[in-house]
């Protein structure tokens, strides 16, 4: 930044502009109950990316896309040789997602950069706004594909081969999105990054319950995800006896119950979720021949997560009975703590702006997990009304959205100085 860094770039954040853009994005993939269905690499995702590129163009930001489908908008600095500061989140949503998860971080980044431009302060290093490909992992599992490939934590080929429920590969879906954004130039995958900051909704009730505006995110709890496949035999519901059946549904139900019993803790810290449970042929008079279900297991203590996660396979096998079972671990990520200097920047900006804040652990996962492996990273939380998220009722107020963008603008201007 030049010598007028005392200019408070946050003063140029425009609450109405941010609110209008959040509302405009919410119309892309809008569901009838007030949420969004903008799943990764869908036409809605492509439309949201095109909208972001259009807003960036009005600001003179140069768009680019990498081979993993991550989208970037660059504000050039005065020193072209300096490593870029990255800021953003994701545009994809859950099938019945909310209007803020992910997209808030992308639009807060755009708002913060627009405030920096409006302030007249020139960053020394470039600032890249980023929309990571497939953070949510709903259509293509596991999530955080774009940031993991960018950070060299997952191979591009491995990701391109993943298919959705209809057998469409990430590679084929990426081609369609690339076609919709054919005017956006390609860029190298990865590359040096000076720092990464992600603004995100809390996805929990604590900030609102405590009357706070900003969460200084000190870390992200660990998470392990699995895909379980239980194979039995289809049989007639009226003529096949229990003794001769290989009922995949009853075996899968026994596995899920045994896992829930094993992971039950009185402190309610373990997070065990079976969100997807698919039965085939799913016909009322046919004994289930196949069940495929997901496991999402989380805990802030990495050793506990290791110990519990290592029980998944033996518990499934012990409850398979006469059926066959395959357990595949899709992702393994231990708990992490963001570096103190990054947390200090967020905390100091909140203090300067007179915003009530506290340190907070993220129990939700974020792309910042993978950036943390390659550069100093940090996160800024804003309150979620009633903690509601991954649902259509998700809400963050305009005032809180703007406050988060102000903190982000301050932090970015210091990082890119
Ligand atoms: O699942 C998560 O924690 C993130 O919201 N995708
Ligand atoms: Mn998110
Ligand atoms: Mn999410």
Q: Of all helices (H) and strands (E), which one includes residue 80?
A: none
Six-digit token string for 413: 């201007």
Q: What was the pLDDT predicted at 326?
A: 98
Q: What was the pLDDT predicted at 4?
A: 43
Share of the chain above pLDDT 90, in %: 98
CA of 81 relative to ligand 1 center, distance in Å: 35
Digit-coded pLDDT (tens) for 43-90 = 999 999 999 999 999 999 999 999 999 999 999 999 989 999 999 999
**pLDDT above 80: residue 1:** no
**pLDDT above 50: residue 5:** no
Of 15, 106, 12, which Cα lies nearest the Cα of 397? 15
CATH number, span 222-333: 3.30.70.360
Give the mutation target among 365, 379, 387, 394 for probing the ligand 1 site: most ligand atoms within 8 A of CB.
Answer: 365
Q: What was the pLDDT predicted at 7?
A: 65
Which atom of ligand 1 lies nearest, measured to the CA of 136?
6
Using CA atoms, how far apart are residues 93 and 106, in angstroms rounded to an integer? 13
**pLDDT above 80: residue 172:** yes
**Fold topology of 9-220+335-415:** Aminopeptidase (3.40.630)
**pLDDT above 70: residue 105:** yes
Contact 28, 48 (CB under 8 A): yes
Same fold, 9-220+335-415 and 222-333: no
Which residue's C-alpha comes closest to atom 6 of ligand 1? 136
| Ligand 1, pocket residues at CB < 6 Å | 135-136, 143, 364-365
Long-range contacts of 272-275 (CB under 8 A, 24+ apart): 272/296, 272/297, 273/297
Give the mutation target among 40, 101, 102, 143 for probing the ligand 1 site: most ligand atoms within 8 A of CB.
Answer: 143
Contact 258, 285 (CB under 8 A): no
Using CA atoms, how far apart are residues 406 and 179, in angstroms rounded to an integer? 35
Q: Which residues surround ligand 3, an ion (CB under 5 A)?
A: 101
Using CA atoms, how far apart are residues 67 and 44, in angstroms rounded to an integer? 19
Q: What was the pLDDT predicted at 6?
A: 54
**pLDDT above 80: residue 215:** yes
Give the mutation target among 92, 135, 273, 387 for probing the ligand 1 site: most ligand atoms within 8 A of CB.
Answer: 135
CA of 122 relative to ligand 1 center, distance in Å: 35
Which residue's C-alpha comes closest to atom 2 of ligand 1? 365
Digit-coded pLDDT (tens) for 306-350 = 999 999 999 999 999 999 999 999 999 999 999 999 999 999 999
Lowest mean pLDDT among 7-11, 212-216, 393-397: 7-11
Which residue's C-alpha comes closest to atom 4 of ligand 1? 365
3-state secondary structure 124-166: CCCEEEEEECCCCCCCCCCCCHHHHHHCCCCCHHHHHCCECCC
Indicate whether this model's pTM tops 0.85: yes
Which atom of ligand 1 lies nearest, measured to the CA of 144?
6
Digit-coded pLDDT (tens) for 252-286 = 999 999 999 999 999 999 999 999 999 999 999 99
What does the domain layout of the chain look like in residue ranges? 9-220+335-415, 222-333
Q: What was the pLDDT predicted at 186?
A: 96
Using CA atoms, how far apart are residues 99 and 385, in angstroms rounded to an integer? 12
Digit-coded pLDDT (tens) for 152-167 = 999 999 999 999 999 9
Q: Which residues surround ligand 2, an ion (CB under 5 A)?
A: 101-102
């Amino acid at each position: 930044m030049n010598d007028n860094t005392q200019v408070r770039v946050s003063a140029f954040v425009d609450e109405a502009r941010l609110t209008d853009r959040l509302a405009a994005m919410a119309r892309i993939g809008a569901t009838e109950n007030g949420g969004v269905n903008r799943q990764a690499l869908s036409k809605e995702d492509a439309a949201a990316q095109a909208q972001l590129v259009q807003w960036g163009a009005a600001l003179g930001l140069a768009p680019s896309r990498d081979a993993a489908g991550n989208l970037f908008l660059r504000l050039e600095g005065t020193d072209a040789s300096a490593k870029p500061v990255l800021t953003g989140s994701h545009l994809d949503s859950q099938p019945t997602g909310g209007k803020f998860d992910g997209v808030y971080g992308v639009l807060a980044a755009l708002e913060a950069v627009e405030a920096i431009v409006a302030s007249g302060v020139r960053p020394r290093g470039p600032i890249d706004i980023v929309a990571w490909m497939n953070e949510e992992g709903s259509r293509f599992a596991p999530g955080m594909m774009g940031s993991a490939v960018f950070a060299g934590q997952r191979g591009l080929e491995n990701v391109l081969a993943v298919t959705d429920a209809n057998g469409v590969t990430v590679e084929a879906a990426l081609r369609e999105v690339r076609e919709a954004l054919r005017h956006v130039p390609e860029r190298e995958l990865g590359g040096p990054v000076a720092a990464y900051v992600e603004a995100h909704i809390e996805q929990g009730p604590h900030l609102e319950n405590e009357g706070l505006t900003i969460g200084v995110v000190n870390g992200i709890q660990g998470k392990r995800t699995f895909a379980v496949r239980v194979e039995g035999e289809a049989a007639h519901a009226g003529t096949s006896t229990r003794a001769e059946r290989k009922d995949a549904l009853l075996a899968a139900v026994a596995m899920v119950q045994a896992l829930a019993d094993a992971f039950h803790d009185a402190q309610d810290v373990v997070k065990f979720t079976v969100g997807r449970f698919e039965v085939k042929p799913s016909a009322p008079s046919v004994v289930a021949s196949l069940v495929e279900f997901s496991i999402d297991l989380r805990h802030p203590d990495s050793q506990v997560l290791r110990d519990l996660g290592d029980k998944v396979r033996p518990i499934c096998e012990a409850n398979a009975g006469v059926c066959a079972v395959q357990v595949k671990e899709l992702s393994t990520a231990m708990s992490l703590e963001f570096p103190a200097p990054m947390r200090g920047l967020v905390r100091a900006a909140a203090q300067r702006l007179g915003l009530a804040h506290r340190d907070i652990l993220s129990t939700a996962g974020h792309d910042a997990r993978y950036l943390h492996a390659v550069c100093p990273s940090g996160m800024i939380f804003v309150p979620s009304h009633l903690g509601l998220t991954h649902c259509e009722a998700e809400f963050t107020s305009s005032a809180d959205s703007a406050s988060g963008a102000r903190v982000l603008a301050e932090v970015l201007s210091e990082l890119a100085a």
